[in-house]
Structure 1
Amino acid sequence: MDRIQIERLSKSYGPVQVLKDIDIRVPERCFVALIGPSGCGKSTLLRTIAGLEQISGGTLRIDGQVVNDMPPRKRDVAMVFQSYALYPHMNIEKNMSYSMRLKRIAPQVIRDSIDSVAATLGLDRLLDRMPRALSGGQRQRVAMGRAIVRNPKVFLFDEPLSNLDASLRVHMRSEIRKLHQRLGATSIYVTHDQIEAMTMADHVVVLRAGQVEQQGAPLTLYNQPGNKFVAGFIGSPSMNFIEAVIGPDGHSAQFGGATPQTLDLGRTLAAGTAVWLGLRPEHLQPRHSEQGMSGEPQEHFLRGVVDTVESTGSMTFIGVQVDGVEQTVLISHAGVGVVRSGETLSLGIAREHIHVFDKETERVL
């Protein structure tokens, strides 16, 4: 059963349309991530679901009921904001129980609910503290606890980890995912961090300029991007793109200057078609030219000179100036000490890892 159904939803501020014909279905107990660059409309979409923004067109259903004109308090959704939004004059227990006290729920019921949620979030020893006495991660857990005690139909998260440091973000990603599984909740999570989306979500929706570019399981978007934008947005480091032309044989791509290179695509396309070749850094394998090709077909390789080498310990990122290609081609390689600046390399890649996009429409071919 779909917990939320969004059909041709649009939102405008005067003449400016910020959401255009959005179609999304969120099954019960699904974790959905909304992702895209700043200004793409993902937070606005979340706020329309919460009822904080009035939609301009389309239909929004929660549990099959149209909620276009329903006020936020009647939608039975809970929102966790980027800024925590805790009441500074209330201790943690009162912050978490505020909505229940407004509904005049019995004190013992409130107490039992707070104790249970606080134990789940590791806040049971902090209930008497004020928000100013907590760390960023603890405040974020309080904000989540305040949402959980309401037992809503849908949890909405608006970039809740963006104010935390890197190590705490990694920890809280795991905590939010575990909490989602434990509660069996339906969650919609807004983020600009594609690592968060890939590691946490069951379903990812990629937005650009108020429109859905592609949606699906995280690995589907990674392995089968529908267009150049999605291919470049999903994956870290970002995919490399090289301008090329399909050769006369129809199954190879040619690029470069006076001495063009050829890459065998392993599939037939219209000869002469201008394309973008998409090559993920992790799929490119460096080989020293002096080591030879080890019997591999020549068309599986790009040739170039190492420009930069950056090592993080577990990974090495290598920038290569490929012959006839204006931009630097980036590759990522596990380990350290692979190559040095100035060396000549051949970069191998399997045919199934080569993505081809139409130069004009940027759609996948």
Structure 2
Amino acid sequence: MFSFLKKKSENGDTRPDAQAEAGQAPQIDAAAVVTGATETRPGWKERLKNGLARTRSQLGGLFGRTRIDDELLEELETTLLMADVGVDGTQYLLDELKKRVRQDGLESPAQLQTALTDILEGLLKPLEAPLDLAAHKPFVIMLAGINGAGKTTSIGKLARHFQAQGKSVLLAAGDTFRAAAREQLAAWGERNNVAVISQESGDPAAVVFDAINAAKARGIDVVLADTAGRLPTQLHLMEEIAKIKRVIQKVDATAPHEVLLVLDANIGQNALAQLQAFDKALGVTGLIVTKLDGTAKGGVIAAIARQQPAGKPLALRYIGVGEGIEDLQPFVAREFASALFGTD
């Protein structure tokens, strides 16, 4: 009914993935690039800063001016809106900034830059919540999102991330509608030395069902379940993805333990509508925001933060700033705010 990915060994022989079959995580060279080279890459903070350069560049010379005045604040407002911080988010940041100017007697744009970084960090801090895998085994993570958001690629990167933590991983190719999606997931599985459970066609819920049972039998720590991309307006497809969640709960009443919605930063404010629709269908528990390096709309994370209910915000688990296998990392509010406004 399902197939396990096969992998070539170093001597060229093709064999089943013995480590994944045994439920063991292979050793990972964290310094290696996607191609397997061992050359040194910039650290995560530097890659994050580089990835947000297009958004940060919109600030231009605002903070290089000699004094704080109404013109600077007006241009800052326009810049934040262009970065897709949103009307509500922009108003919040500016109101808090003006309070700081009055209370702390800020005089220079450089001081304004530091204050804005601190205010954004405070806004985003409630979203900072690292994923804890210790509560369940297997820990079942279901990923959803529209076509092209980066679900399958994010799964491959998450597999590497979890392996670096010493966890064994199994992938479920739940996107049975696109052969390319299964092939892409198989390629990520081979790159990470991880087993992939898939079907040529058929019910995606059945694939995920089989994957969880296989993970239980093999003592696997984490199951990453891919799903087919769909638009929030495609109600019949949204119901189908909800069915996958119900089937998962038949295998494990506590699962899925995390429902991650993958959002492409390029869509800007549309991310808010997507979040609302997928949350209604699935009960989203966490977010991944991808492709921050390919857009000038990195401020959308602030817009998401302003939309969250007080006291119970949705967790932003990971952000992505590149194609490299290590370019998806846990979200840290201070790192993001500093990279966005150039204070680090």
TM-score, structure 1 length as denominator? Answer: 0.26
Instruction: Flag the structure with larger Rg.
Output: 1
More strand per residue: 1
TM-score, structure 2 length as denominator? Answer: 0.28
Q: Which has the higher contact order (CA 8 A, sep 6+)?
A: 2
More helix per residue: 2
